[in-house]
Structure 1
Amino acid sequence: MIDVRNMTKKYGKLTANDNLSLAVGGGELAVLLGPNGAGKSTLIKSVCGLLRFEGSITIGGYENHSTEAKRLLGYIPEFPVLYPMLTVYEHLEFIARAYRLEAWEDRAEDLLRRFELDDKKTKLGKELSKGMQQKVSVCCALLPCPRAVVFDEPLVGLDPHGIRELKILMSKLREEGCALLVSTHIIESMEDNWDVTYIMMKGKIVRVCRREELHEGQSLEDVYFDITEGHAPEEYPHE
């Protein structure tokens, strides 16, 4: 569903992403890990069509800048950006109109209830805390029922209830066949549901690890620190 092939992104002489390839299929949760400056955010923004790059990125077989791809993709950025003079409910109505959704109201109400925003529907974007803005961002991204969702540090700023509900929703989306790509520093938050992990360092994917490859008693955190703080990694051969 999300297919990145030989993608390179440069900022002048700096190569932020160096010939990256990864794939996330339907019903698969892929985790993107790496230290600060590894190139994760650049990759995420490129997948979502926010940056120019060399190579190929497709969503459901469509070029990622196309209208067809954008209809399939949901994006939850690390730093939510809301319209300051729109209310919480008007944000959802704006998304519904932009995507030409029909009978969207019940789904909107369910999302608002899940994230304890049902009593905040008339609050303006500028009146919300960062945590509430993040919740609105999640609701807007999931309202059109995307078939692929990209999360960039989705748990940052959320309260315990919001974290629990988002993790439940992510599990539900995965079960329904949605492709999920999650960039995070909170490794333990992904320990339960991940299928494949891409570990990045210095603009490269240096290890691809599938859950079934872990040794007994080994955690995703163990793999991450072995790669990033252990011996010099060898680049993982891509299919």
Structure 2
Amino acid sequence: MNNKQQINRLRDNAELAWAAYGYFHFANPNYDFNKDEIDKERLKHFRDIKRDELIKQNPNTTDQELQNTYPTHTDILNMEYKHFRDEKTGKLKDSFFDDKLFDGDFTPTQAKNFFEHYELLEYCPNTDSGFSATLFKDTKADSKDSEYILSFRGTEFKLEQIQDLLNDYYIGTNNSDMNRVIEQYFDMLLFYEETLKPLLQEKGIAKINVIGHSLGGYLAQLFALSYPSIINEVYTYNTSLESKSVA
């Protein structure tokens, strides 16, 4: 592999680590937006944004069609839907203390290109411990072993995700103490054993890549140590080294 190919591979995997921060459950039409007031507002706000676009495309768009409009995976990553807008002023509500719409950070073109390249197969939204991960399929992979990628979400800097910050502190100060492994590790094992393992076995997949940024990178290393026989490659970004055996 030449330098350009190495750089492109690092870039692509960094993008996959970045995509793991997406709240993809909002793209599931079966998700109950009414169970939470802020989620209910998210769907309403998104439909308000989409209304003008849909009517411009088709002036005969009905109210029923608008009610059947849900965010796509591309919308979730698209920074155009990162923040709510103030209904009176039209300004973005983008302070640290404001609730986010979908909190995506990809440009519109980047988000579109990403989901033309990758297919989202499985997604684990935040558990009580804060664990979240996504299984992607690379539709343009150059080998079967690099076709499936498990990407772990990193630290979320939100007040309600204080557990992430505590986990980061623990990793940074006690990362050799495996007797006190973080709760997210057990949720990771559960996600793999109950959801991913049966899927990979059904598809005859023997190897996968694992990726993560920050806390997600630490979890990627723990996953590689826990399931070494299925690991093709490990990519981590801005994280601590769990074990020299991963390097």
TM-score after normalising by structure 2: 0.28
The structure with the larger Rg is 2
Name the one with the larger strand percent.
Answer: 1
Bigger helix share: 2
